[in-house]
Amino acid sequence: MVKVQNRSVEAFLDQPQTGIIAVLLYGEDGGLVRERAGRIAAAVVDDPNDPFRVAEISAAMLKDEPSRLLDEMAALSLIGGRRLVRLGRAGNAYSAGIEAVLDNPAAAGNGSLLLVEAAGLAPRDSLRKLFEGHDRAAAIPCYLDDGRSLENLIHEVLGGHGLDAEPSAMAYLAANLGTDRQITRSELEKLALYKGRNGGSITLAEAEANVGDGAPLARDDVALATAGGDQVGLDRALVKCRISGESPIAILRAVIRHLQRLHLMSLKLAQGDDISRVIKSQRPPIFFKHQPIIQRQLQHWRPARLAQALEILTEAELDCKTTGLPAEAICGRALIRIANAARPRSGN
């Protein structure tokens, strides 16, 4: 059974573990899924576009020819070397077919690797359970860049161009990036090209001019409005999210991350720490325009109430995945419930 741990992911991507014949990459960050799939493909074959050594399998192919997956895995390369079989947009419907491949000696004996890409999967999803529980398979989650990982990515990309970012610019970039690894890299490369090759620090004005639309992403607007009890702002931000194609689960997770951050800060305040020092010590830094908003929210929310709000959001995410009810309605109802709890009460 192989569930690749975070500390081992980089090494695994460059050299998949011996004995593993199938790898599942899954998560909400589709860009990171694609990026890691590309690295594994490059480790298995010299040219990921070589039609003699790489087979691309689609849902339509498997519907018309269910045995196609096993046939491709059992086939030998005509020009020598390992073969790579790629299956994209996979879901639980593929679990039985993939399990048959994993258990078949013909597929396991010729060095072929099955590379499966999927969106977010819950621990109970059959596809994820299969890859985490089979000794010939490995599962690698691809989480959204957040916190320290996002700050490290920004430093990595900008540093490759001899650049860094002023604290206010770093806070802005952290607030406006992170939903898709490939988009994040593309935006940072665009910013570096704009800055030029003279080195130096990215300013806030340069970051605002090149990344996003000069305002926080819609999902972050949702998080701030929800925790602030701003019903009008929440409605407006949800409309922006729908227009930009944000999924209800991505929205819920953005609010969860925001409340988790508030919860950690509120615990420090409960121990007697200074609110200004707590806010300024956050990594990645909080965008300076958001700092007074965060301060007001910390004065309103207490650790126990934040824990209750997080339970509501976690339950809503699970309902989105399991009940079959409209996910937008589940998400909206949970956010409104928390926003109502955040509204100041007259006489308090």
- Contact assessment for residue 84 and residue 54, using Cβ atoms and an 8 Å cutoff: yes
For residues 116 and 155, state if they share a domain. Answer: no
The residue from 192, 210, 228 where one domain ends is 210
261 vs 288, more confident:
261
For residues 137 and 10, state if they share a domain. Answer: yes
For residues 66 and 108, state if they share a domain. Answer: yes
Q: Which of 311, 328, 172, 174 is nearest to 238 (CA)?
A: 328
For residues 249 and 315, state if they share a domain. Answer: yes
- Contact assessment for residue 132 and residue 18, using Cβ atoms and an 8 Å cutoff: no
For residues 25 and 111, state if they share a domain. Answer: yes
pLDDT of residue 162 exceeding 70, the answer is yes
Domain count, the chain: 3
Pairing mode of beta strands 200-202, 113-118: unpaired
Confirm whether 1 is domain-assigned.
no
Residue 212 banded pLDDT, cuts 50, 70, 90: low
- Helical H runs in 245-290? 248-270, 275-280
Q: How many CA atoms lie within 13 A of 37 on its CB side?
A: 28
92 vs 178, more confident:
92
Phi-psi region of 122 (alpha: psi -120 to 50; beta: other; left: phi over 0): beta
For residues 94 and 193, state if they share a domain. Answer: no
For residues 199 and 241, state if they share a domain. Answer: no
Question: Mind giving me the DSSP string for 272-317?
Answer: T--HHHHHHT-SSPPPTTTHHHHHHHHHH--HHHHHHHHHHHHHHH
Give the pLDDT confidence of 281-311 residue by residue, as tens digits: 887 788 887 889 999 999 889 888 999 999 9
pLDDT of residue 213 exceeding 70, the answer is no
pLDDT of residue 215 exceeding 80, the answer is no
- d(CA 107, CA 114) in angstroms, rounded, equals 10
Q: Which of 104, 121, 123, 120 is nearest to 112 (CA)?
A: 104
Looking at residue 82, its pLDDT comes to 85
Alpha-carbon Rg for the chain in angstroms: 23
Average pLDDT over residues 215-234: 84
What CATH number is associated with residue 170?
1.10.8
What CATH number is associated with residue 118?
3.40.50.300
What CATH number is associated with residue 222?
1.20.272.10
Q: What share of the chain is helix, strand, coil (3-state, %, to 5)?
A: 60, 10, 30
Confirm whether 348 is domain-assigned.
no
168 vs 102, more confident:
102
DSSP label at residue 101: H
Residue 347 banded pLDDT, cuts 50, 70, 90: very low
- Amino acid letter, 94: Y
Q: Which domain holds residue 269?
A: 218-342
Average pLDDT over residues 80-107: 90
For residues 287 and 223, state if they share a domain. Answer: yes
Instruction: For residue 62, give both structure tokens.
Output: 């498997």
For residues 245 and 192, state if they share a domain. Answer: no
pLDDT of residue 216 exceeding 60, the answer is no
The residue from 141, 174, 198 where one domain ends is 141
For residues 111 and 127, state if they share a domain. Answer: yes
